[in-house]
Amino acid sequence: MGVFVGARRYLLLMVTGVGETPRFAHESERLVWDLLQRQKRPDWVVLANQRLTTEEKDHELDLVVLMPGEGVVVVEVKGGSVWVDEDGRWRQGRRPDNVIHPVRQAREGKYALREYVERDARWRDSSRRRIRWGHAVVLPFTEVAPDFSTPDCPRWTICGKADLDDLADRLLDVIERQETTCRRPADDDIELIVDIVSGRDFPTHAVTAEADDREAVADRLTQEQATLLKATRLINRLEIRGGAGSGKTILALTQAKDLTRGQGDRRPQRVALVCYSIGLSQYFRRQLEGVPRRHRPAFVGSFEDLANEWGIDTAAHDRNDAEFWERDLASRMTQIAASLPEGKKFDAVIVDEAQDFADHWWFPLMKALRDEDEGGLYVYSDENQRIFARFGQPPVPLVPLVLDHNLRNTQQIARAFGPLAPMRMQLRGGEGADVAFVPCPREEALGTADDQVDVLLETGWEPQHVALLTMGSRHPAQVERQEARGHVGYWKSFWDNDDVFYGHVLGCKGLERRAVVLCVNAKNTERAREMLYVGMSRATDQLVVVGDPEFIREIGGDQVAARLGI
């Protein structure tokens, strides 16, 4: 853990905490530790393997003995045979080149630890005067003569094999001799030192960090998957089929950019990127905001947006008027498309959410191609996400390409909705939290879902990462936002960074949130299985499903019920 203390940077690692049994690299250190545990006073604290990094060097303090009412002693332990040669150099073992510096290590470790403690704001803010600090060397397997002495290591600072029975008392003597002017530490001084050397401001577990990691992996896998576009670049009529989480939407966006700027020996093309929902169209536009204008598709938006661009005012028409939206609108658009000047037509049309396109919608798209026979038509679909009673098909044959990898959802989430997917998917997403199921009656589902949103926020999810999606009546917050901001403004709020998103699964295909509470409040089973599939797959990292267990079993089947723990 890196911390700033005063003007210097320290890295402090507490290898062994108070009350824990330490692990030692050398048996000599374990021996001295055990002796001190038997000899020390009850209120002493002994720390082992204390590492401290300053800008100058790394220190490893074998033992730090904290003695209330006495002081602090830093102990350097050297095992084996330790001896001093004729030049005054300390050596260890038989190797003549094995020069060691036990006294310097103990002394420098003492000063480094003392400075670290005294520079800590908690020590400074309490205006504590310096306490007594000492250092000592212990050689548990080496005989040290009674009259041994060097200028930097008088006999009372070193303990040999014959001194071990009195080790604790000898460390007390070190404090009495080395520090005569500083004060004796009180109990609260020792407690504060332990707190300081234990570190501070440690990183805490963050669900968002784990989600960032998984998202980075998913993005890389999706980029790798984009190589499929290179392999199929000579095919002008293509249908890409895949289940939720297979990366279809990102692949469609990538293809739109590639065709627009040209790739390999193919010239830049005039491209239309079309989808069904307002939310997904806003996603596409946001993703393309930073792209140079010449690399952006000529048109990006929903089928309705295309009608508006061609001069048809759709705002006055009832959303429930199927005759207008599925037949009359398409007929008018087909007439306009046929009469478009060459410069306004497209070389290629890319359709995402194709399973929701009405049969007649394909005619204006085909007429909008410069070359109706050879122009590019690229269709992305998932039949199991067909949640509207439309069964339109492109009027031309397409080469199928199947995506059978789930890249975007955690394995727990992908397994939960797996029985609802159109095919068996290979799960390549990371490991995450288990999918949670909260049983409740349908009439209590909204309130229970609100409670689960609060739980997600309390466990560390940011509001912008959380969505509450309903399958039946809309959440009051969704109704309020749509009335206040209009449909486009409401969908732009999907990317707000300060609030939870409230929506309905019908509008969220192609979109995702890291944490989703799915409120199963539908009143009947019509298209409920498809909506359950869409709703569960919108969560990339954490999913909570709320609703009546028997209704979920009825619409999802026994396998989904079992995977939700029902």
pLDDT of residue 520: 97
Q: In a 10 Å sphere around its CB, with 0-12 CB exposed, 13-18 middle and 19+ buried, how is residue 141 labelled?
A: middle
Q: Is the pLDDT of residue 357 over 70?
A: yes
- At a CB cut-off of 8 Å and minimum separation 6, what does 209 contact? none
Average pLDDT over residues 316-336: 88
Contact 295, 261 (CB under 8 A): yes
What gap in Å lies between CA 422 and CA 415, rounded to an integer? 13
What gap in Å lies between CA 103 and CA 414, rounded to an integer? 61
* Secondary structure (3-state) at 448: helix
- 10-38 as b/e: b if 16+ CB within 10 A: bebebebeeeeeeebeeebbbbbbebbee
Among the listed residues 543, 542, 547, the one whose alpha carbon sits nearest the alpha carbon of residue 528: 547
What gap in Å lies between CA 91 and CA 310, rounded to an integer? 90
Three state DSSP letters for 346-371:
ECEEEECCHHHCCHHHHHHHHHCECC
What gap in Å lies between CA 438 and CA 435, rounded to an integer? 10
- For residue range 358-377, what is the model confidence (pLDDT) as tens digits? 889 999 999 999 999 999 99
Average pLDDT over all residues of the chain? 88
pLDDT of residue 15: 40
Tokens representing 503? 């929506």
Average pLDDT over residues 458-480: 95
Label the pairing between strands 8-14 and 376-381.
Answer: unpaired
- For residue range 94-142, what is the model confidence (pLDDT) as tens digits? 777 789 999 999 999 999 999 999 999 999 888 889 999 999 999 999 9
- At a CB cut-off of 8 Å and minimum separation 6, what does 119 contact? 5, 6, 8
Tell me which of 180 and 112 has the higher pLDDT: 112
Average pLDDT over residues 406-422: 90
Work out the number of other CB atoms within 10 angstroms of the CB of residue 299: 19
Count of CA atoms in the C-beta half-sphere (13 A) of 187: 2
What gap in Å lies between CA 161 and CA 53, rounded to an integer? 31
pLDDT of residue 8: 38
What gap in Å lies between CA 40 and CA 47, rounded to an integer? 13
Tell me which of 444 and 228 has the higher pLDDT: 444
Tokens representing 237? 């009529």
Backbone angles phi, psi at 271, to 5 degrees: -120, 145
Helical packing angle, 102-119 and 187-197, nearest 10°: 100
When computed from its CA atoms, the radius of gyration of the chain, rounded to whole angstroms, is 36
Backbone angles phi, psi at 358, to 5 degrees: -70, 160
C-alpha distances in Å from residue 423, one per residue of 246, 253, 402, 560? 11, 23, 10, 15
Any idea which of 32-36, 93-97, 112-116, 527-531 has the lowest mean pLDDT?
A: 93-97
- Determine if the pTM surpasses 0.85: no
Identify the bridge partners of residue 50 per DSSP, sorted by sequence position.
Answer: 14, 61
Token match 């700033």: residue? 4
DSSP 148: -
| Helix (H), strand (E) at residue 108 | helix 102-119
Average pLDDT over residues 532-542: 94
Label the pairing between strands 58-67 and 71-77.
Answer: antiparallel
pLDDT of residue 5: 34
Q: Is the pLDDT of residue 17 over 50?
A: no
What confidence tier does 321 reach under pLDDT thresholds 50, 70, 90? confident
Residue-level length of the chain: 566
The CA-CA-CA angle for residues 486, 491, 492, to 5°, reads 100
In sequence order, what DSSP letters do the residues of 425-443 get, joined into one string?
-EE-SPP-PPPEEEE--GG
Any idea which of 202-216, 258-272, 317-331 has the lowest mean pLDDT?
A: 202-216
pLDDT of residue 320: 80
Identify the bridge partners of residue 59 per DSSP, sorted by sequence position.
Answer: 52
Three state DSSP letters for 165-193:
HHHHHHHHHHHHHHCCCCECCCHHHHHHH
Average pLDDT over residues 522-526: 90
Work out the number of other CB atoms within 10 angstroms of the CB of residue 144: 17
pLDDT of residue 14: 42
What gap in Å lies between CA 433 and CA 246, rounded to an integer? 20
Tokens representing 362? 């394909």
pLDDT of residue 11: 44
- For residue range 495-504, what is the model confidence (pLDDT) as tens digits? 877 899 999 9
